[in-house]
């Protein structure tokens, strides 16, 4: 593991700890409460267990639950350990979370921070686990900010902006930079 990987991962840990300090945040997704993905679980080490909701492999349902939690006053940090799996949540993300403010004429504006990881290529996991769909989501989402983090120095500002924004934010991380052995 190179120095850049360690710094990137350390910054993710700090960012998740910062988010966890907000009483509204709740972390939801696969491998948030139990080990599994090498990209996400270890970065939540400073997030209290009671702020984590482990989900089965039900990405669309996870996004729907995240939107519902946001409507109930929580600030969900909805984690997808592979960006490829976020495609399964596309209906809830693009047609519901992104459009609810418009569809309700401003009455409802659920805010979710979506954390998606571009799977690492080392070791090679297969082409369906390391795709980057950031640009495609930028084209599809009109009310959700989309940010890609390529350097450790971008992590804290990106997550701080997401926390302070009135809008939902999709943040894409690069798995090869955050992976821990």
Instruction: Say what the pLDDT of residue 132 is.
Output: 86
For 50, which DSSP code?
Answer: G
Domain ranges of the chain: 3-178
Instruction: Say what the pLDDT of residue 39 is.
Output: 75
Instruction: Say what the pLDDT of residue 147 is.
Output: 98
Instruction: Say what the pLDDT of residue 71 is.
Output: 97
Ranges in the chain, pLDDT < 70: 1-6, 38, 120-128, 178-181
Q: What is the fold of 3-178?
A: Rossmann fold (3.40.50)
Instruction: Say what the pLDDT of residue 66 is.
Output: 98
Instruction: Say what the pLDDT of residue 64 is.
Output: 97
Residues 76 and 70 sit within 8 Å (Cβ to Cβ): yes
Segment (H or E) for 141:
none
pLDDT digits (tens, 9 = 90+) for 37-88: 767 888 999 999 999 999 999 999 999 999 999 999 999 999 999 888 899 9
Instruction: Say what the pLDDT of residue 181 is.
Output: 39
Instruction: Say what the pLDDT of residue 35 is.
Output: 85
Instruction: Say what the pLDDT of residue 5 is.
Output: 59
The reported pTM is 0.91
How far is the CA of 145 from the CAs of 45, 115, 119, 140, in angstroms?
Answer: 26, 12, 21, 11
| Number of DSSP helices (H) and strands (E) in the chain, helices first | 8, 6
Q: How far apart are CA 59 and CA 56, in angstroms?
A: 8
Instruction: Say what the pLDDT of residue 180 is.
Output: 47
Instruction: Say what the pLDDT of residue 91 is.
Output: 95
| CA proximity to 100, closest of 155, 143, 145 | 143
């Amino acid at each position: 593991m190179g120095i850049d990987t360690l710094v990137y991962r350390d910054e993710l840990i700090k960012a998740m700890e910062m988010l966890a300090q907000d009483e509204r945040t709740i972390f939801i997704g696969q491998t948030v409460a139990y080990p599994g993905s090498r990209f996400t679980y270890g970065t939540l080490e400073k997030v209290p267990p009671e702020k984590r909701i482990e989900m089965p492999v039900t990405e669309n349902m996870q996004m729907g639950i995240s939107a519902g939690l946001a409507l109930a006053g929580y600030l969900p940090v909805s984690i997808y350990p592979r960006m490829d799996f976020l495609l399964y949540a596309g209906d809830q993300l693009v047609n519901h979370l992104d459009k609810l403010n418009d569809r309700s004429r401003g009455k409802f504006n659920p805010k979710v921070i979506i954390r998606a990881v571009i799977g690492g290529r080392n070791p090679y996991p297969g082409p369906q686990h390391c795709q980057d769909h950031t640009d495609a989501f930028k084209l599809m989402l009109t009310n959700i900010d989309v940010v890609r983090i390529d350097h450790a120095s971008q992590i804290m500002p990106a997550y701080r902006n997401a926390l302070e924004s009135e809008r939902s934010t999709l943040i894409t991380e690069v798995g090869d930079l955050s992976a821990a052995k």
